[in-house]
């Protein structure tokens, strides 16, 4: 109790004495009047007429309008969107270039299906493959990340003639069909559904919570505070996690008989988990030497979000055989893609495969515009500059607040893992902050106009993946709100309310 009292007295005196919320950065935009269903009717319909969804807040948020990095609810209240529809709004809500592209293409040709050709598809495919390395030149357009990963699963098995597929614990690749087994998060599992055949999960190489790893392991502006014996030349943690994955070939998969390996280059839903340096490169070599293909899931990490590279697999020094992408590809418009080599793509010729809405003319027009906006407005560089600034600010908070156990990420894909403040990470003892406290902090931030996500296997990681147009002023507001919310948490804890 004494330590809590000292913590409460010693930090953020401005917020202790003032009940004013941090001010949102000013904008020159006024939302339209709300004319939709009443809030009460929306909640009734959500209960009786709509399948259950993830409940983000104690009081559901009914959103009405968006503009760049801003969202407005049915009352006209403004929020800074630091989640981007789960890394989906890449260039900004209702970006004028995107809305113009939708309107223009809708007035020319809206839909023909994949049975016919149209010029906008070829324009988009040409623009997309210009961003891809090596022989990744063949594109199959679909509508969601789950569809893309399902097709990738089919391709690795068709092309290799093998069945066994590997992914990494704590990963998320979707929950439909085969992906229910490929995804390795218990919260995404249904007890009466098959986890899928011939699917294996390797140990998650998490250098914060895992068995191995520490402050020299990540390719990131920030490191965990845990000590390790790694050096600049070689990451020993990567070696250890690699050896664990290789054991799967000793006990579960015959040598030379693997179909494929799936990995996010940074795990998103799992809590922005970054792998140790060199790990993914060695795994790719192992998979290929055993007859398999390597699939990079860039659904959340692609399109410049991580700053240094357009695709984050490039930061690992690898070139995949197949790349799946979605979310930011269409700035919120339903669109996704599988990109692979011509030889692998021809594996589909042995049977009939079709997607009604993939390559829709309006989707392709949106995709072309998204790529142009990212380039012309320097959004990849903005991710690097603003994201690094944000990470540095969060590291400053980590030094002040014991409940911040880890800060990680690259560019504008950032995770903040909250713990109970009594961890001993060098001994592998890390206790997550309880769900009641997480809910308190998250709902406090909502009241102050800040939106972000929560992830991780214990739902104790704050996830920040905003539209890539956010500014340093937006980061300053975010930091101010987080400070206030944590101050409120400590005050409530001091009063024995948490």
Tens digit of pLDDT for each residue in 67-95? 999 999 999 999 999 999 999 999 999 99
Nearest to 257 by CA among 301, 339, 200: 200
- Strand segments, DSSP code E, in 277-362 are 293-297, 322-325, 336-340
CA 188 to chain centre: 16
CA 74 to chain centre: 27
Alpha carbon separation from 61 to 49, 72, 99, 327, 462 (Å, rounded): 17, 10, 24, 21, 18
Q: In the 8-state DSSP scheme, what is residue 68?
A: B
Identify the burial level of 399 via C-beta atoms within 10 angstroms of its C-beta, where 0-12 means exposed, 13-18 middle and 19 or more buried: exposed
How many Å apart are CA 362 and CA 103, to the nearest integer? Answer: 9
How many Å apart are CA 191 and CA 189, to the nearest integer? Answer: 6
For 416-436, write each residue's pLDDT tens digit.
Answer: 999 987 655 555 568 999 999
In three-state secondary structure terms, 339 is strand
Alpha helices (runs of H) in 379-452, residue ranges in sequence order: 379-400, 435-447
Percent of the chain exceeding pLDDT 70 equals 94
Are 217 and 276 in contact by the 8 Å Cβ rule? The answer is yes
Residue 12 pLDDT greater than 60, yes or no: no
The average pLDDT across 280-298 equals 97
User: Rounded to the nearest 10 degrees, what angle do helices 279-289 and 236-251 cross at?
Assistant: 30
Nearest to 374 by CA among 35, 109, 128: 128
Confidence (pLDDT) at 352:
85
Confidence (pLDDT) at 426:
54
Neighbours of 250 (CB within 10 A): 8
Mean pLDDT is lowest, of 16-20, 168-172, 186-190, 438-442, for 16-20
Confidence (pLDDT) at 232:
79
Residue 57: which residues within 8 A CB-CB, separation 6 or more? 442, 443, 446
The average pLDDT across 29-56 equals 91
How many Å apart are CA 37 and CA 74, to the nearest integer? Answer: 9
Q: Is residue 197 very low, low, confident or very high in pLDDT (cuts 50, 70, 90)?
A: confident
Average pLDDT over the chain reads 92
Q: Is residue 14 very low, low, confident or very high in pLDDT (cuts 50, 70, 90)?
A: very low
């Amino acid at each position: 109790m004494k330590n809590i009292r000292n913590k409460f007295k010693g930090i953020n005196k401005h917020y202790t004495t003032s009940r004013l919320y941090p001010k949102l950065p000013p904008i020159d935009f006024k939302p339209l009047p709300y004319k939709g269903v009443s809030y009460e009717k929306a909640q009734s319909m959500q209960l009786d007429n709509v399948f259950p969804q993830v409940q983000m807040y104690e009081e559901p948020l009914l959103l009405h309008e968006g503009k760049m990095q801003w969202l407005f609810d049915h009352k006209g209240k403004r929020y800074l969107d630091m989640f981007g529809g789960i890394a989906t709004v890449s260039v900004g809500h209702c970006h004028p270039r995107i809305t113009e592209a939708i309107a223009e293409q809708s007035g020319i040709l809206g839909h023909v299906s994949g049975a016919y050709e149209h010029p906008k598809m070829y324009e988009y495919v040409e623009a997309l493959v210009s961003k891809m390395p090596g022989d990744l030149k063949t594109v199959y357009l679909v509508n969601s990340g789950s569809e893309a990963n399902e097709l990738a699963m089919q391709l690795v098995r068709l092309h290799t003639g093998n069945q066994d597929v590997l992914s990494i614990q704590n990963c998320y690749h979707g929950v439909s069909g085969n992906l229910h087994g490929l995804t390795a998060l218990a919260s995404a599992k249904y007890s009466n559904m098959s986890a899928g055949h011939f699917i294996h999960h390797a140990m998650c190489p998490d250098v914060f919570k895992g068995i191995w790893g520490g402050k020299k392991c990540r390719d990131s502006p920030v490191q965990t505070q845990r000590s390790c014996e790694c050096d600049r030349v070689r990451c020993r943690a990567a070696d250890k996690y690699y050896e664990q994955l290789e054991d799967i070939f000793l006990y579960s998969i015959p040598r030379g008989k693997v179909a494929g390996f799936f990995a996010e280059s940074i795990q998103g839903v799992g809590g922005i988990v970054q792998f140790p340096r060199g790990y993914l490169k060695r795994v790719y070599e192992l998979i290929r030497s055993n007859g398999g293909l390597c699939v990079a899931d860039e659904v959340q990490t692609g399109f410049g979000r991580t700053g240094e590279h357009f695709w984050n697999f490039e930061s690992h020094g690898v070139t995949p055989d197949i790349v799946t992408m979605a979310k930011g590809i269409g700035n919120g418009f339903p669109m996704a893609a599988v990109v692979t080599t011509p030889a692998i793509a021809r594996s589909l010729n042995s049977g009939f495969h079709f997607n009604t809405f993939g390559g829709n003319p309006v989707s392709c027009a949106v995709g072309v515009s998204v790529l142009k906006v990212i380039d012309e407005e320097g959004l990849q560089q903005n991710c690097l500059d603003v994201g690094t600034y944000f990470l540095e600010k969060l590291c400053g908070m980590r030094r002040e607040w014991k409940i911040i156990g880890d800060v990680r990420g690259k560019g504008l894909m950032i995770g903040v893992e909250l713990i109970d403040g009594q961890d001993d990470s060098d001994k592998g003892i890390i206790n997550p902050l309880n769900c009641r406290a997480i809910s308190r902090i998250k709902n406090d931030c909502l009241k102050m106009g800040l939106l972000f996500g929560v992830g991780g296997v214990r739902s104790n990681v704050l996830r920040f993946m905003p539209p890539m147009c956010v500014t340093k002023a937006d980061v300053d507001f975010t930091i101010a709100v987080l400070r206030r919310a944590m101050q409120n948490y400590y005050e409530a804890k001091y009063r024995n309310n948490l």
